[in-house]
């Protein structure tokens, strides 16, 4: 895993680099191959008063002990308690502002993708990650690549921006080799052939035909790629050999640091820490600087079949 510390891009002020567009391309290339871009300081505007407000929120105020999610497109907040409508209103505004600021930053910093990504959900993660009692497929302390059941990407990449807003405690991750290394080892055992066969099935044109209908009634229209990635997410978490034999690298994200990562590419586990913010973007494969490193292309070259819709 390549770790790149970016310390010449700051908020406010932006770049101090001589040639930001060449640097941006290099950064996209590194991210796409499974690198992590690390910022020692928050590289976008984030008011101290917002941080204080988030830290003051009571853990019991979060429904079912879940993360709080925010949907930028509909300005909808989920997972916060409704006990105090004023707090909910403030939290919604805070998340909207946070989401806008991260987006401004990403648009400028990762300029090769500008205008091509689609914004996905943001989240506030107020719970201690160590020792959470969750069912196996929901456990984030087991290494996995991300795939969202409700939001198929059809090959689009999952780019995430995390910020540790805990003033004193690091957020601790473990990561392993990128998708292009683990897929050849494990994708066939996870059933890639079955999904490839499905992709070639005579029923596929029919599926494509009814896709607009599926979307119209609000169901996820999953391509063979999406179905495989969901399976792979679960399979990796279930698989003892992968969980115990993978070459782990421990990463510590200090207070106020920010990191960018394609979480569909870098298998990751969060071991400890509480209070993080995160914003997700879906970046289409044709916006990639190195498309052949995308999980879609890696899988397609393994099975020789088109897996997107
Ligand atoms: C995850 O995407 O698995 C969780 C990462 C985190 O909350 O730090
Ligand atoms: Fe994850």
Closest ligand 1 atom number to CA of residue 140:
3
pLDDT-derived band at 184 (thresholds 50, 70, 90) equals very high
Centroid of ligand 1 to alpha carbon of 269 (angstroms): 7
Q: Quick one: 119 exposed, middle or buried, by C-beta within 10 A (0-12, 13-18, 19+)? A: middle
pLDDT digits (tens, 9 = 90+) for 169-178: 999 999 999 9
Does the structure show a pLDDT above 70 at 120?
Answer: yes
Q: In angstroms, how far is the first alpha carbon of the chain from the final one?
A: 31
Closest ligand 1 atom number to CA of residue 263:
2
Distance separating alpha carbons of residues 262 and 163, to the nearest angstrom: 15
Percent composition of the chain: helix, strand, coil (DSSP 3-state, to 5):
40, 20, 40
Scanning the chain, the segments in alpha helix (DSSP H) are: 20-32, 48-56, 85-109, 179-186, 192-199, 204-216, 224-238, 240-245, 295-303
Closest ligand 1 atom number to CA of residue 146:
2
268 lines ligand 1 (CB under 6 A): yes
146 lines ligand 1 (CB under 6 A): yes
pTM score? 0.96
CB-proximal residues (5 Å) to ion ligand 2: 146
Centroid of ligand 2 to alpha carbon of 271 (angstroms): 12
pLDDT computed for residue 207 by the predictor? 87
**Residue 222, both tokens:** 């999953």
pLDDT computed for residue 172 by the predictor? 98
Which residues touch 51 (CB under 8 Å, ≥6 apart)? 165, 167
140 lines ligand 1 (CB under 6 A): yes
Does the structure show a pLDDT above 70 at 201?
Answer: yes
Does the structure show a pLDDT above 80 at 81?
Answer: no
Using DSSP, state whether 280 is helix, strand or coil.
strand
pLDDT digits (tens, 9 = 90+) for 273-291: 999 999 999 999 999 999 9
């Amino acid at each position: 895993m390549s770790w790149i510390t970016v310390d010449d891009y700051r908020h406010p002020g932006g770049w101090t680099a001589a040639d930001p567009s060449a640097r941006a391309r290099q950064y996209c290339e590194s991210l796409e191959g499974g690198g992590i871009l690390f910022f020692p300081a928050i590289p976008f505007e984030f008011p101290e008063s917002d941080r204080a407000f988030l830290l003051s929120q009571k853990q019991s105020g979060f429904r079912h002990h879940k993360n709080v999610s925010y949907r930028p497109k509909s300005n909808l907040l989920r997972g916060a308690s409704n006990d105090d409508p004023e707090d909910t209103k403030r939290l919604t505004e805070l998340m909207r502002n946070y989401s806008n600021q991260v987006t401004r930053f990403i648009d400028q910093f990762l300029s090769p993708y500008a205008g091509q990504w689609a914004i996905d959900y943001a989240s506030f993660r107020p719970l201690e990650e160590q020792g959470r009692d969750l069912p196996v497929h929901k456990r984030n302390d087991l290494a996995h690549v991300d795939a969202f059941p409700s939001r198929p990407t059809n090959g689009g990449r999952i780019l995430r921006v995390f910020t540790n807003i805990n003033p004193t405690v690091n957020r601790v991750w473990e990561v392993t080799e990128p998708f292009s290394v683990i897929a050849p080892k494990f994708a066939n055992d996870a059933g890639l052939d079955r999904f490839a066969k499905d992709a070639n099935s005579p029923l596929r044109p029919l599926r494509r035909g009814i896709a607009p209908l599926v979307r119209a009634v609000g169901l996820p229209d999953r391509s063979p790629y999406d179905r495989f990635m969901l399976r792979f997410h679960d399979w990796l978490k279930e698989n003892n050999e992968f969980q115990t034999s993978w070459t782990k690298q421990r990463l510590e994200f200090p207070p106020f640091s920010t990191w960018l990562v394609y979480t569909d590419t870098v298998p990751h586990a969060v071991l400890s820490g509480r209070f993080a913010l995160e914003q997700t973007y879906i970046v289409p494969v044709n916006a990639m600087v190195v498309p052949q490193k995308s999980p879609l292309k890696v899988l397609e070259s393994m099975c020789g079949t088109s897996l997107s819709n």
